Structure 1
């Protein structure tokens, strides 16, 4: 624990020149218009139209058919900047998996069949959920998500061993991220449903939140509006202590004892909430060490 604490202090004191935009806002980037950041080619079916197709059938099972969507073209020059800009996705080489509405463990060779929810452009992963969507892979209510993770990079807590996750996030749409769960766009998560320790969440107004497991009264508003403002996020975690940084600024620490394997997930997860509007989140250069 001491080793992690020393590391966390060191990381927190390195950013001595940071000047926040306003007291509750630590994102350094300006806000870009959505027209500057991305465009679409083609159309996406409504949820009702999709359910009338065979893409997710049979409902309540892990399906492999997939569903295609409009092509998302991002402005790589604006989005892919900072320390994670040149980190390739390498989904096949890294044995990445995709958890989406119709299947919780899709291999990277199947990703292209699920472009309605997941696409890649340059070094950026594109995650989308749509109005009214729900989980269809089992009987769990609502629980819509599209997240990636790497099973081979799960780890058991070890003394004095600190793991790190880092990536650049850009939230384009969050109107569907309503209470009670909002949208988790990152989570340090074990291999059972209640084994998470810390999340990064965004709400329907675009506000960005640090969410600690052990005491939700310690959740912190990171930015009142993150829409269209790329930011770098880093988490350090040794299986007990963890700390989150946004654009080099520490935004929260906590402790949550974990005894099973831990991994990192990123994308969009809405839990118990419904989705009244579309959601789009970009993740650039996701890296773990």
Structure 2
């Protein structure tokens, strides 16, 4: 996934099948699943990969920010994706509320190439069809109270966060998380 402005953020971690908070200096241990080339991140899962970190069944390889975004702070994510194949339903992006361990915005890709968003307490929506093997850009704005989702420059949806506590802390996550 190439980044548009300024390359790959350096202040990130990866969440893998065996560790949820892998620091950058340990990324070389995971080159079979995660690589960086120029301003492009490459996420890979392989047949037989499974989660060994906890009781959850499904595997993942995701990057995530270390921003710990607080209410009232506007943060933005922009990434251009090109997904070559999708053999299982996967999540490719989350605004994740780490205070209560819930995603606030969840973007999933179905095996048939349809892209959908889900948001806790809001209606789900279809973003696009036939996105496999094509570039598409996701842009998300989030201020801890409300998120906005853009697809290829067009605003698709917006919605409020469900958890509204003063100590709400969110982060962006992107990559591949098998969900079915």
TM-score (norm 1): 0.57
- Aligned residue in 1 for 2:8: 89
Q: State how far apart, in whole Å, the 2-side matches of 1:225 and 1:134 are.
A: 27
Decide whether aligned partners of structure 1 residues 212 and 115 sit closer, same or farther in structure 2, where only a CA change above 3 A counts. same
- Aligned residue in 2 for 1:150: 65
More helix by share: 1
Shift of 1:133: 2.2
More strand by share: 2
Q: Which secondary structure does the structure 2 equivalent of 1:242 belong to?
A: strand
Q: Which secondary structure does the structure 2 equivalent of 1:110 belong to?
A: helix
Once the two structures are superposed, residues 203-225 of structure 1 have per-residue CA deviations (whole angstroms, 9 ceiling, x without a partner) of 1111111222213xx22222211
Q: 2:177 aligns with which of 269, 273, 281?
A: 269
Q: Given that residues 175 and 206 in structure 1 are in contact (C-alpha distance below 8 angstroms), is that contact kept between their aligned partners in structure 2?
A: no
Bigger Rg over Cα: 1
- The number of residue pairs the alignment matches comes to 177
Shift of 1:86: 5.4
Once the two structures are superposed, residues 175-217 of structure 1 have per-residue CA deviations (whole angstroms, 9 ceiling, x without a partner) of 122xxxxx110000021564211111101111111222213xx
Shift of 1:244: 0.1
Once the two structures are superposed, residues 246-267 of structure 1 have per-residue CA deviations (whole angstroms, 9 ceiling, x without a partner) of 1111111111233321111110
Decide whether aligned partners of structure 1 residues 248 and 86 sit closer, same or farther in structure 2, where only a CA change above 3 A counts. closer
Q: State how far apart, in whole Å, the 1-side matches of 2:101 and 2:141 are.
A: 20
Q: Does 1:185 align with 2:92?
A: yes
Decide whether aligned partners of structure 1 residues 86 and 249 sit closer, same or farther in structure 2, where only a CA change above 3 A counts. closer
Q: Given that residues 14 and 63 in structure 2 are in contact (C-alpha distance below 8 angstroms), is that contact kept between their aligned partners in structure 1?
A: yes
Decide whether aligned partners of structure 1 residues 237 and 267 sit closer, same or farther in structure 2, where only a CA change above 3 A counts. same
Q: Does 1:247 align with 2:175?
A: no
**Runs (5+) with no aligned partner, structure 2:** none
Q: Does 1:169 align with 2:81?
A: yes
Q: State how far apart, in whole Å, the 2-side matches of 1:89 and 1:253 are.
A: 25
Q: State how far apart, in whole Å, the 2-side matches of 1:189 and 1:210 are.
A: 13
Q: Does 1:102 align with 2:18?
A: yes
**Runs (5+) with no aligned partner, structure 1:** 1-78, 178-182, 274-289
Q: Given that residues 103 and 119 in structure 2 are in contact (C-alpha distance below 8 angstroms), is that contact kept between their aligned partners in structure 1?
A: no
> What's the C-alpha RMSD, in Å, of the aligned pairs?
1.8
Structure 1 stretches of at least 4 aligned residues deviating more than 4 Å after TM superposition: none
Shift of 1:162: 2.4
Decide whether aligned partners of structure 1 residues 116 and 191 sit closer, same or farther in structure 2, where only a CA change above 3 A counts. same
